[in-house]
Amino acid sequence: MTTAVDERPDIIDVDDRVREGSTSQIQDMPAYREHWSRGEADPSGYWLAQTKQRVHWRKAPTQGLEGDCWSVCDGPITWFADGELNVTESCLDRQLAKRGDKVAIVWEGDEPGDVRELTYKELHAEVCRCANALRELGLKKGERAIIYMGMVPEAAVAMLACARLGAVHSVVFGGFSAEALRDRVRDCGASVVITQDVGKRGSKNIPLKATTDQALEGEAGVEAVLVYQRDASVEVAMKAGRDHWWHETVSPASAECEAVVCKAEDPLFVLYTSGSTGRPKGLVHTCGGYLTWTAYTHAVTFDLREDDVYACVADIGWITGHSYIVYGPLCNGATSLMFESVPTYPDVDRYWDMVARHKITIFYTAPTAIRVLAAQGPGPVRKHDLSSLRVLGTVGEPIDPVAWRWYYEVVGQERCAVVDTWWQTETGGHCITPIAPATPEKPGSATLPMPGIMPVLVNEHGRPMVGPGEGRLCIAHPWPGMARTVWGDHARYVMTYFTTFPGFYFTGDGCRRDADGYYWITGRVDDVLNVSGHRMGTAEFEAALIAIDELAEAAVVGYPHAVKGQGVHAYVVAQPGVEADDALTAKAHEAVRGSIGAHARIDRLQYVPGLPKTRSGKCMRRILRKIAEGEPDKLGDVSTLADPSVVDAIIEGAKSFG
Ligand code: WTA
């Protein structure tokens, strides 16, 4: 969604921000400029210095960056290649001396006030137990484990336990279907799956174990399934020889487990994400660079202090949960809150109730949640004491200035910095974002690049633009947190990110740069949808739809949606002689749910007589997008269509959606 930006947006500079005790080194604009320049002039030197300050290395690296946006064609770029570490020593062991009794994870369960706290000492012990149990179950360095869980501390424990062994985790969001889970198990060749009986969200049970069983039917490669028991009153089937209860396997294991030493560029995890074509890609993040980037950005963007209570209410199944619930915060020795429920359960003041009870100082959420809660007016916010808040963050989609102001004025009481953080699964962590409290903000702008990030806007001819203007957002130089490859398919990585604009990493986003050099992300320019901050490929919807016998063709596009950012509009063509009735519609919805998951929903399903195709048979998606956006008068040139009358019928049919 393009943000409705006034020509001269206000610059907001919060003046009463206290600056003591911060672990960020960037407290004002001169410091920002100095760090950014150092990162540009000598990337290797700058990041070697940063990583030595922020990460615990067994063998400190002497090498910085090797490779560039050209050399990726021949093989992955590397950072800190001669360094050795185990990321859990940074996140756990080295915290024990000073922060052993500090709370590492505060967990707020589905029911308000159902709270658990794990200190660094306890988390360390639990991770060691889990690692020992996983080793017993056969998991070895370099092997893959799928984690298919809800938001319980054990999900973070499982991730860290894999990392402890040098094994590679791949977390699959708990909303994904059995089919999507099976695809991921197969693609990364997982030998272990870690799940739980049921997940809890808004008083509902999510049948995670049952879905796992369905996904693993006939999958010989998975030797063991570890099952955490979230609700003892729920019965689940356990397969003898394969399935093991967490409380019978992990809990009795030894609380000591020597960390397996890894190379900086050993894979830490694979995370699947949607692109514009084909099946989701397994992006690979590696130990040294990823941890450096998440620790640095978490401390710098949020102006982290020792006594902060930091809450990122994302799900661990997405990159935000990886980088900013688990790795960044724990590497920084922070207290990180994990939230199991949804913002509207049991009521629309759940977030604010939680902020007041836990005295949260940094709160990080998605624009969709802000829009949903802003629609309730200020009442639910004002019921609670939010004076603990200092920094407010958003992530996942563009935030419009209206929602931004509501967040700043009503939630932040015009006292807190708002950081609109732009980044992607691929980037590992924040790339364009305000730095609290340094960066003067403009509502709706992700503002300025992080040190180490050199954004480039490219025009439609593939030429880098200078000064203000709008183009495609690329990044010119590698940074430590970037994904190194696609699991098992480096050619696809190169093809997707480095061939559209050779010499640059292409983000897939459109972006405007204003006269002050501020960046305004306008949204995806490819066929990736962003619905409520969830990233989904139109190709995945289409594949699910055309797998139905009664449907001949399908084309899916996004359209602006007031709350969700984008809605999903599906144009489908029934097979000749098939009636487009309610039963077929229900089947279409079920197919999408079954193929992708419960979070993927078509908002508008439109039966059309045909798709607008050129004479060579190419579907003109541009036309479908314009119609879905409610701008049928702006279709542009349609003279190349094989049958222009189809367009009139589609426009007519779309009127029913208002
Ligand atoms: C979008 C989520 C505008 C963008 C961390 C990007 C944003 C995609 C912002 C990545 C933001 C993320 N402003 N757009 N602050 N943050 N996006 O991989 O389109 O799930 O390409 O990573 O979300 O989504 P992903």
pLDDT tens for 249-269 read 999 999 999 999 999 999 999
| Average pLDDT of span 436-446 | 96
What sign has the CA pseudo-torsion 526, 528, 529, 530?
negative
528 Cα nearest atom in ligand 1:
19
394 Cα nearest atom in ligand 1:
15
Which pLDDT score is estimated for 276? Answer: 86
Closest by CA to 657, choosing from 616, 602, 596, 610, is 602
Q: How far apart are the C-alpha atoms of 29 and 33, rounded to whole Å? A: 6
Instruction: Name the one residue in this structure whose structure tokens are 């020597």.
Output: 258
Q: Who contacts 430 (Cβ-Cβ below 8 Å, separation ≥6)? A: 297, 301, 421, 422, 423, 450
Two tokens at 43?
A: 């990337």
User: What distance in angstroms lies between residue 519's CA and the mean position of ligand 1's atoms?
Assistant: 13
Residue 21: pLDDT band with limits 50, 70, 90: low
User: What distance in angstroms lies between residue 432's CA and the mean position of ligand 1's atoms?
Assistant: 11
User: What distance in angstroms lies between residue 397's CA and the mean position of ligand 1's atoms?
Assistant: 5
Q: Give the DSSP per-residue string, 18-55.
A: --TTBS-S--SHHHHHHHHHHHHH-HHHHHHHHHHHHS
| Average pLDDT of span 60-65 | 98
Q: Which of 297, 511, 521 to mutate to test the pocket of ligand 1 (most atoms within 8 A of CB)?
A: 521
pLDDT tens for 171-222 read 999 999 999 999 999 999 999 999 999 999 999 999 999 999 999 999 999 9
What residues does ligand 1 touch, defined as CB less than 6 Å away? Answer: 273, 318-320, 395-398, 420-425, 446, 507-509, 521, 523-524, 530, 535
| Average pLDDT of span 500-527 | 96
Whether the per-residue pLDDT at 530 is higher than 60: the answer is: yes
507 Cα nearest atom in ligand 1:
21
The interface predicted TM-score of the complex, written ipTM, equals 1.00
How far lies 457's CA from each of 19, 150, 461, 467, 605, in Å? 34, 38, 11, 9, 35
Whether the per-residue pLDDT at 11 is higher than 70: the answer is: no
End-to-end CA distance of the chain: 19
Cβ neighbours, 10 Å, residue 378: 12
Residue 13: pLDDT band with limits 50, 70, 90: very low
Burial of 598 (0-12, 13-18, 19+ CB in 10 A): middle
How far lies 205's CA from each of 178, 338, 348, in Å? 16, 18, 20
Q: Who contacts 435 (Cβ-Cβ below 8 Å, separation ≥6)? A: 24, 26, 32, 300, 301, 303, 419, 448, 450
Pairing type for strands 103-108 and 115-119 reads antiparallel
Q: What average pLDDT does the structure give for the chain?
A: 95
Instruction: Name the one residue in this structure whose structure tokens are 């490859």.
Output: 485
Which pLDDT score is estimated for 646? Answer: 94
* Closest residue to atom 12 of ligand 1, CA basis: 396
Q: Who contacts 542 (Cβ-Cβ below 8 Å, separation ≥6)? A: 554, 555, 556
Residue 139: pLDDT band with limits 50, 70, 90: very high
534 Cα nearest atom in ligand 1:
20
Q: Who contacts 391 (Cβ-Cβ below 8 Å, separation ≥6)? A: 302, 303, 361, 362, 363, 416, 417, 419, 436
Q: What are the structural domains, with CATH classification, of the chain?
A: 21-449+464-512 (3.40.50.12780), 532-657 (3.30.300.30)
Whether the per-residue pLDDT at 9 is higher than 50: the answer is: no
Which pLDDT score is estimated for 20? Answer: 52
Whether the per-residue pLDDT at 612 is higher than 80: the answer is: yes
Express as a percent the part of the chain with pLDDT over 90: 93
Q: Which of 274, 535, 536, 599 to mutate to test the pocket of ligand 1 (most atoms within 8 A of CB)?
A: 535
Instruction: Name the one residue in this structure whose structure tokens are 């019978």.
Output: 248
Amino acid, res. 130: C
Residue 636: pLDDT band with limits 50, 70, 90: confident
pLDDT tens for 386-395 read 999 999 999 9
User: What distance in angstroms lies between residue 505's CA and the mean position of ligand 1's atoms?
Assistant: 15
| Average pLDDT of span 338-350 | 97
Two tokens at 3?
A: 């943000």
Which pLDDT score is estimated for 640? Answer: 87
425 Cα nearest atom in ligand 1:
18
Express as a percent the part of the chain with pLDDT over 70: 97
Entry pTM: 0.95
The three-state secondary structure class of 570 is strand
Q: Which of 283, 322, 423 to mutate to test the pocket of ligand 1 (most atoms within 8 A of CB)?
A: 423
Residues forming beta bridges with residue 267, ordered by sequence position: 286
Cβ neighbours, 10 Å, residue 502: 11
Lowest pLDDT segment from 117-126, 405-414, 614-623: 614-623
User: What distance in angstroms lies between residue 565's CA and the mean position of ligand 1's atoms?
Assistant: 12
420 Cα nearest atom in ligand 1:
15
Q: How far apart are the C-alpha atoms of 577 and 549, rounded to whole Å? A: 12
* Closest residue to atom 10 of ligand 1, CA basis: 424
